[in-house]
Amino acid sequence: MADIIATLQKERDGLSRSEQRIADIVFEDKQFAVNASIIELAARADVSPPTVTRFCRRLGCHSFSEFKVRVAQSAFIGTRYLEPEVKVTSSQEVIDTVMGRAQSTLNVLHENVDAEVVEKIAEQVLKAKMIYAFGSGGNSSLFAHEVQNRLFRLGLRVTASEDHSMQLMTASTLGEDDMVIGLSISGRNREMARALEIASGYGAATATISKSESLVAQASEMNLAVDLPEGTDVLRPSSARYAFMAAIDMIAFLVAIKRKDSAIEPLRRIKRQLVTFRDEDDTQVLGD
């Protein structure tokens, strides 16, 4: 179930002039688009109804009414996020925008994520005797730690590093039993690409979560692609973080399922440790 608004944005430039007019109206007034009849929408875009039908088909919908439903479904509270420059002032608008962007980002990832790659990476994680999560810069380094945070709970050996030099040095010490997971939102992290190549050269498995075709992605065996349009508004927090979170989530969840038996014991121990230490309420779930 793809996010039609995201699709619309992606395809917009490939549409004909009349169709672009329709697209623009849908963008700028979804409330109208969703409630109007095909005739009303056609009139407002100054095109004929058949053009609207063709427009819907081109976007992968079977009929106009399917199109309307898809537009309505695409959590359009915050779809304004897709437009580069949105004027946002009130706190409620900020909330709606943040939420809309997060939702849409996740939709885009959901639509594009490659289940096979997730599977392959998870398999490799299970095989590795030690895992090294690399990421640099405030965002990606955070995710390197997230990888560590998620995998150690499953009883896996894992460490995270955000230090380029350490990454390079570490890479040189690896072998066939090791695995490197590299995280880079931009995909332009040269040092990381280098570290991945070195690790690969010594026989370690390499996986990345990054932009497809990017420097970093090309340097590793497996890349879980996270390609998202990032606006140019410097004030806009990168919504890609939600997608990265989800990408890590998928891998960790799949790994957890695959090694269910051996994963439960470490989790149980962590939990007991937390509960005993903090308070006696057993309902707490590995909370913080």
Window 168-197: residues binding a second copy (CB under 8 A): 184-190
Stretch of 17-25, 45-53, 149-157, 195-203 contacting a second copy, by CB under 8 A = 149-157
53 binds, among a second copy, DNA, none (CB under 5 to 8 A by kind): DNA
Minimum CB distance to a second copy, residue 149 (Å): 4
Query: What part of residues 47-76 is at the interface with DNA (CB under 7 A)?
Result: 47-54, 56, 63-65
Give the pair of three-digit tokens for residue 266. 């470490």
47 binds, among a second copy, DNA, none (CB under 5 to 8 A by kind): DNA
Sheet of 222-225, strand order: 158-161, 130-135, 178-184, 205-210, 222-225
Q: Which is nearer to a second copy, 23 or 122 (CB)?
A: 122
| Closest C-alpha to 82, from 108, 113, 48 | 108
| Helical segments of 173-280, H only | 190-201, 215-218, 240-258, 260-278
Answer for which of 4, 5, 6, 19 binds DNA (CB under 7 A) is: 19
Minimum CB distance to a second copy, residue 162 (Å): 10
Q: How many residues does the chain have?
A: 288
Helix (H, G, I), strand (E, B) or coil at 36: coil
The number of CA neighbours under 13 Å toward the Cβ of 133 is 24
Task: Dump strand ranges (E) for 42-136.
Answer: 130-135
Q: Which is nearer to a second copy, 27 or 253 (CB)?
A: 253
Residue 146 near a second copy by CB under 8 A? yes
Please count the other Cβ atoms lying within 10 Å of the Cβ belonging to residue 80: 20
Stretch of 16-24, 40-48, 196-204, 250-258 contacting a second copy, by CB under 8 A = 250-258
**Alpha-carbon dihedral of residues 69, 70, 74, 79, nearest 10 degrees?**
-100
Distances (CA, A) of 120 to 24, 101, 219, 286: 40, 29, 17, 27
Answer for which of 17, 31, 91, 276 binds DNA (CB under 7 A) is: 17
C-alpha span between 104 and 126 (Å, rounded): 31
Stretch of 6-14, 16-24, 169-177, 275-283 contacting a second copy, by CB under 8 A = 275-283
Stretch of 49-57, 125-133, 198-206, 244-252 contacting a second copy, by CB under 8 A = 244-252
Query: What part of residues 253-272 is at the interface with a second copy (CB under 8 A)?
Result: 253-254, 256-257, 260, 263-264, 267-268, 271
Q: Which is nearer to DNA, 55 or 81 (CB)?
A: 55
For helices 240-258 and 115-127, the axis angle rounded to 10 degrees is 60
First CA to last CA across the chain, in angstroms? 33
Stretch of 17-25, 46-54, 135-143, 168-176 contacting a second copy, by CB under 8 A = 135-143
Q: How many residues bind DNA (CB under 7 A)?
A: 20
x/- letters, 8..47, toward a second copy (CB under 8 A): --------------------------xx-x----------
C-alpha span between 221 and 213 (Å, rounded): 12
| Closest C-alpha to 151, from 135, 171, 131 | 131
- Residues near DNA (CB under 7 A) are 16-19, 37-39, 46-54, 56, 63-65
